[in-house]
Amino acid sequence: MKRLLTAILAGIILSSIFEAGNFITNGYTFSIMDVIMIAIIYIIPLYILFGIPVSVMIDKCISKYLTSIKSPYQLHIIQLCAYALSGIISLGLLLLMLDPRLLGSAIFGFMPSILYFYIFLFLKRLG
């Protein structure tokens, strides 16, 4: 349930970030309803299809194979790198299916995955 809530919150926040970038470049501002619709139609389904399964897989792999790491700082860095790399790979696969010429843009996949990671950490700390 926390992962689904994380996907919804991350989708709305990412949609708001995109809207802010659009306002800076074009001067046109979306209404709050437009931001929510963009999140619901485009971003949240991607988080649900890619983000949640990959997040579960990363957490299981880290808890299974990296049990010797005792430092919370090292564990955090490893999780952060794993989420960033998985975001790049996920966006790369999506772009490869849609338009292979855009494959170089896959590097930007780290941003949504890191946003998801930190929102998930925040929700885990809340309880």
Per-residue pLDDT reduced to its tens digit, 81-108: 999 999 999 888 888 888 888 888 888 8
62 lies in which domain range? Answer: 2-126
Residue 28: CB partners within 8 Å, gap ≥ 6? 22
In this prediction the pTM is 0.84
Q: What are phi and psi of 70, to 5 degrees?
A: -105, -20
7-56 pLDDT, tens digit each: 999 998 988 887 776 665 666 666 777 777 877 888 889 899 888 999 99
| Token pair for 12 | 């709305």
Residue 69 host element (H or E) = none
Q: How many distinct structural domains can be found in the chain? A: 1
**How high is the pLDDT of residue 23?**
61
Q: Is 30 left (phi over 0), alpha (psi -120 to 50) or beta?
A: beta
